């Protein structure tokens, strides 16, 4: 019997639907099954772990744990990028085999980001898509407070920025990191931008030349295209002459003044002016072939700019030419309201004729007499200031400073203070080699309104080899000083030519005047005794430091605001009686102390915040080094060597 031919079969590969079966189907039929609509979670999760023991859980607690297991949970990961989903077997294997770091410790869980996932359950539960998951962020604690800095007034923010950033330059025009800090802080918000730009441009950094050129380009732009009107924020100009005006790569001072309509002060200086940087360059070794151009003073009069502060430097080019220019310019209308004036490097050559000295005195007197509103006067490195020039100083000043004036004596200063010292508020005396403290015998009568006294007897004389020695024999030739009543700050450092007996008289004058010093807040004294051994110095330090602190140092604790709680604990009757007895004892102690203070010859005025006393025999130097200058940044110490080297040899240093 012939067989019929088989029908033609398609060579097409069967679909996956015909091969799909249910896991729990026990039939052997090959009928195709519908696809399983099972949704796979976006990420695999781990099982809920609990630390409760089985014996401690009640059936209710167990049901609670099971219900919590089916709820949403927050897990932490190490990164912020999404990772591919893992199978459930890999999740269980990761739990059974914890990861270890290279040091052998178990790797901690990540703590940089959080996301929400659901626990995989064996039951057929419809899962939500991962796109609808919410990110849970921890809520801040109740004690955490964020100050609204950006809501502070403009004037307050500008003052804060100035206090935090100034000074912008250090010695020899070395810029401080505060310049970059102001620029970066200004990018936080609009209010910070205005305040930081006000602090930065109040006295803009112009050194080196590339900063000055950048500022000039900014000032020449149209104010309508800028966020801030930078021209109206510049009030003072500090210009280094050699780098910014003398060289070809510098800027035009007249052009700069034309774009700063609100400028109030100009300071033209050299990097060699600071005694603390280059001693050998003082005072005539670095003369510059540059003088004050008349165009800048014409520009001030043309733009109606009123100067409030100005500094004349005798280095450009000589002291006589500078005094001649100052005498002529002070008659202009732009200098009629000048309040702060400083003279620098007014030193005549050694072989100067008597006629030039007389001319210098007359020019100085003429320059000062034209300023009717002057309140602050400063002389730094001015050897032209002597007994004749001191009598030409104006009367009615509030701030007076003499720094490194080698010919100024105590008698000259005392003679001026008798006439013009009644209005002084601040007196600063730094490095005057010929001046003792003899003028302080009648200090209370000559300067009754003085509030700040700063004296430093560290001497620097570039023309002499023995530049550290004073040119007087006795520090207190007229007896112990008398102290004005309104003093707030007293800082006297490097007292020279002082014996132990004179030092005790100096300290005793402060203690005796304590009842007349109700406003004193800072007391700083550093004395260098001559002819005293270390035992005498230790005795004086131990005796007088304790006595000065008892008399002047305030023992009051700083005020701390405490948040009172609504719920106060109940005080028992025994505890309340004990507290009452303690308060009664404290009040009786205070009353006894008050009675002792009332009968004491010197009433105590403990109101000072700082009381410092240093007594030594060191020879003063320009740069003094201490132990901290020779230590590493981080203290390091090795254990005692046992005679065997356990570490491998290295090529580095042993310290």
d(CA 242, CA 270): 7
pLDDT of residue 626 exceeding 60 = yes
Number of Cα atoms under 13 Å in the Cβ half of residue 28: 0
Q: How far apart are CA 393 and CA 384, in angstroms?
A: 13
The helix (H) or strand (E) run that includes residue 265 is strand 265-269
> What is the DSSP code (8-state) at residue 237?
E
The average pLDDT across 264-270 equals 95
Give the single-character DSSP code of 611.
E
555 or 127, greater pLDDT: 555
User: What sign for the dihedral angle of Cα 287, 292, 293, 296?
Assistant: positive
Q: Residue 465: is its pLDDT beyond 80?
A: no
Position 12 pLDDT exceeds 90: no
Residue 268 has pLDDT above 60, yes or no: yes
The string of DSSP codes covering 371-406 is -TT--EEEEES-TT-SHHHHTTSPSS-SEEEEES-T
Nearest 5°: the CA angle 405, 417, 371 is: 75
Lowest mean pLDDT among 131-135, 175-179, 643-647: 131-135
Task: Confirm if 106 and 97 have CB atoms less than 8 A apart.
Answer: no
- Of the chain, the percentage scoring pLDDT greater than 90 comes to 52
Predicted confidence (pLDDT) at residue 146 exceeds the cutoff of 80: no
* Separation of alpha carbons 165 and 159, rounded Å: 10
The region of weakest confidence among 29-33, 235-239, 341-345, 348-352 is 29-33
CA distance 24 to 26: 6
State how far the alpha carbon of 310 is from the alpha carbons of 171, 297, 313, 477, in Å: 20, 12, 10, 37
Picking from 118, 190, 198, the residue whose alpha carbon sits closest to that of residue 163 is: 198
Q: Is 385 exposed, middle or buried (0-12, 13-18, 19+ CB in 10 A)?
A: buried
- Tally of residues, the chain: 655
Q: What is the pLDDT of residues 333-387, one digit of tens each?
A: 999 999 999 999 999 988 889 999 999 999 999 999 999 999 999 999 999 999 9
pTM score? 0.69
> Which residues in 118-242 belong to E strands, given as ranges?
236-240
Q: Which range, of 236-240, 374-378, 466-470, 601-605, averages the lowest pLDDT? A: 601-605
pLDDT of 83 above 50? no
Each residue of 561-583: pLDDT tens digit? 554 444 444 444 445 555 555 55
Alpha-carbon distance of 133 to 380, in angstroms, equals 72
Percent of the chain residues topping a pLDDT of 70:
63
> What are the φ/ψ torsions at residue 286 (nearest 5 degrees)?
-120, 60
Question: Bigger pLDDT: 281 or 265?
Answer: 265
**Domain ranges within the chain, ordered by starting residue:** 150-202, 211-356+380-389
Tell me: pLDDT of 604 over 60.
Answer: no
Prior bond of 263 cis (ω within 30°)? no
pLDDT value at residue 655: 44
Which residue has better confidence, 509 or 621? 509
Please calculate the CA angle 610-443-399 and round it to the nearest 5 degrees: 70
Which of 134, 95, 137 minimizes the C-alpha distance to 117? 134
Strands 265-269 and 73-77: unpaired
Q: Which of 38-47, 274-283, 495-504 has the lowest mean pLDDT?
A: 38-47
**For residue 492, what is the enclosing H or E element?**
strand 489-498
Query: CB of 378 within 8 A of CB of 393?
Result: no
Rounded Cα distance between 527 and 611, Å, is: 14
How is residue 173 written in tokens?
Answer: 């025009």
CA distances to 59, 253, 296, 305 from 301, rounded to whole Å, are: 95, 15, 9, 6
Out of 72-86, 131-145, 223-237, 593-607, pick the least confident: 72-86
Higher pLDDT, 143 or 353: 353
Which structure tokens are listed for 131? 């796109």
Average pLDDT over residues 587-593: 48
Q: Which residues fall within 8 angstroms of residue 520, CB to CB, at 6 or more apart?
A: 487, 488, 489, 490, 552, 605, 607, 608
pLDDT of 594 strictly over 70: no
Which of 265-279, 421-435, 490-504 is the least confident region? 265-279
Higher pLDDT, 163 or 463: 163
pLDDT, position 112: 35
The mean pLDDT value for 532-548 works out to 92
Listed residue (547, 525, 550) closest to 606, CA to CA: 550
**Tokens representing 219?**
């000032």
Question: In terms of C-beta density within 10 A (0-12 exposed, 13-18 middle, 19 or more buried), how is residue 340 classed?
Answer: middle
Question: What pLDDT is recorded for position 627?
Answer: 74
By mean pLDDT, which of 172-176, 232-236, 354-358, 636-640 is the weakest?
Answer: 636-640
What pLDDT, on the 0 to 100 scale, is given for residue 459? Answer: 87
Residue 519 clears pLDDT 70, i.e. is over it: yes
Task: For residue 365, give the nearest of 326, 398, 404, 405 by alpha carbon.
Answer: 326
User: What does the pLDDT average to over 383-392?
Assistant: 94
pLDDT in tens, 301-338: 999 999 999 999 999 989 999 999 999 999 999 999 99
Structure tokens at 232: 């109206």
Given pLDDT bands bounded at 50, 70 and 90, which one contains residue 632?
Answer: low
CA distance 249 to 213: 9
Give SS3 for 141. coil
Q: What is the pLDDT of residue 646?
A: 60
Note the pLDDT of residue 65.
41
Q: How far apart are CA 462 and CA 468, in angstroms?
A: 10
Query: Quick one: three-class SS letters along 580-606?
Result: HHHHHHHHHHHHHHHHHHHHCCCCCCC
Task: State residue 628's pLDDT score.
Answer: 73
pLDDT at 618: 72
pLDDT for 616:
87
Coil, helix or strand for 333? helix
Residue 402: HSE in the Cβ half-sphere, 13 Å Cα cutoff:
27
């Amino acid at each position: 019997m012939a067989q019929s031919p088989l029908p033609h079969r398609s060579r097409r590969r069967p679909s996956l639907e015909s091969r799909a079966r249910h896991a729990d189907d026990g039939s052997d039929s090959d009928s195709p099954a519908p696809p399983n609509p099972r949704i796979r979670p976006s990420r695999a999760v781990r099982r809920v772990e609990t630390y409760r023991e089985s014996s401690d859980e009640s059936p209710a607690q167990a049901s609670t744990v099971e219900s919590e297991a089916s709820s949403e949970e927050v897990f932490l990961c190490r990164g912020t990028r999404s990772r591919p989903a893992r199978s459930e077997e890999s999740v269980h294997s990761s739990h059974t085999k914890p990861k270890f770091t290279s040091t052998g410790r178990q790797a901690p869980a990540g703590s940089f980001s959080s996301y929400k996932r659901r626990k995989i359950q064996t039951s057929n539960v419809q899962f939500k898509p991962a796109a609808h998951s919410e990110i849970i962020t921890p809520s801040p604690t109740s004690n955490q407070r964020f100050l609204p800095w950006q809501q502070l007034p403009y004037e307050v923010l500008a003052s804060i920025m100035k206090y935090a950033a100034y000074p912008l330059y250090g010695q020899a025009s070395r810029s401080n990191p505060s310049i970059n800090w102001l620029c970066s802080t200004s990018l936080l918000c609009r209010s910070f931008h205005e305040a930081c730009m006000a602090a930065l441009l109040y006295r803009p950094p112009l050194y080196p030349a590339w900063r000055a050129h950048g500022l000039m380009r900014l000032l020449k732009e149209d104010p309508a295209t800028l966020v801030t009107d930078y021209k109206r924020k510049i009030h003072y100009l500090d210009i280094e002459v050699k780098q910014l005006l003398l060289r070809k790569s510098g800027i035009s001072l007249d052009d700069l003044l034309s774009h700063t309509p609100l400028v109030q002060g100009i300071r033209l200086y050299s990097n060699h002016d600071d005694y603390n940087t280059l001693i050998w360059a003082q005072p005539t070794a670095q003369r510059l072939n540059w003088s004050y151009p008349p165009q800048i003073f014409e520009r001030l009069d043309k733009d109606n700019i009123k100067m409030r502060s100005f500094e004349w430097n005798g280095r450009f080019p000589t002291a006589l030419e500078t005094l001649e220019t100052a005498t002529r310019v002070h008659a202009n209308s732009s200098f009629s309201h000048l309040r702060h004036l400083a003279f620098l490097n007014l030193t005549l050559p050694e072989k100067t004729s008597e006629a030039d000295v007389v001319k210098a005195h007359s020019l100085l007197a003429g320059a000062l007499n034209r300023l009717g509103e002057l309140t602050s006067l400063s002389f730094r490195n001015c050897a032209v200031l002597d007994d004749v020039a001191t009598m030409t100083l104006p009367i009615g000043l509030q701030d007076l400073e003499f720094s490194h004036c080698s010919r100024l004596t105590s008698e000259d200063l005392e003679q001026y203070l008798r006439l013009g010292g009644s209005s002084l508020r601040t007196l600063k005396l730094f490095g005057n080699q010929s001046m003792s403290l003899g003028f302080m015998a009648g200090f209370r009568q000559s300067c009754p309104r003085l509030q700040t006294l700063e004296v430093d007897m560290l001497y620097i004389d570039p023309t002499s080899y023995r530049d550290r020695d004073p040119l007087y024999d006795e520090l207190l030739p007229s007896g112990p000083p008398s102290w004005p009543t309104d003093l707030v700050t007293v800082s006297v450092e490097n007292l020279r030519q002082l014996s132990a007996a004179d030092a005790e008289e100096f300290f005793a004058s402060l203690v005796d005047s304590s009842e007349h010093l109700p406003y004193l807040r800072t007391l700083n004294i550093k004395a260098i005794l001559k002819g005293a051994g270390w035992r005498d110095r230790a005795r004086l330090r131990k005796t007088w430091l304790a006595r000065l602190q008892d008399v002047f140092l305030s023992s009051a604790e700083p005020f701390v605001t405490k948040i009172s709680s609504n719920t106060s604990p109940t005080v028992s009757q025994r505890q309340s009686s004990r507290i009452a007895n303690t308060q009664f004892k404290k009040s009786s102690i205070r009353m006894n102390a008050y009675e002792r203070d009332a009968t004491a010859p010197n009433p105590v005025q403990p109101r000072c915040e700082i009381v410092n006393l240093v007594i030594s025999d060191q020879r003063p130097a320009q740069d003094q080094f201490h132990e901290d200058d020779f230590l590493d940044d981080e203290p390091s110490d090795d254990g005692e060597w046992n005679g065997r080297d356990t570490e491998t040899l290295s090529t580095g240093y042993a310290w």
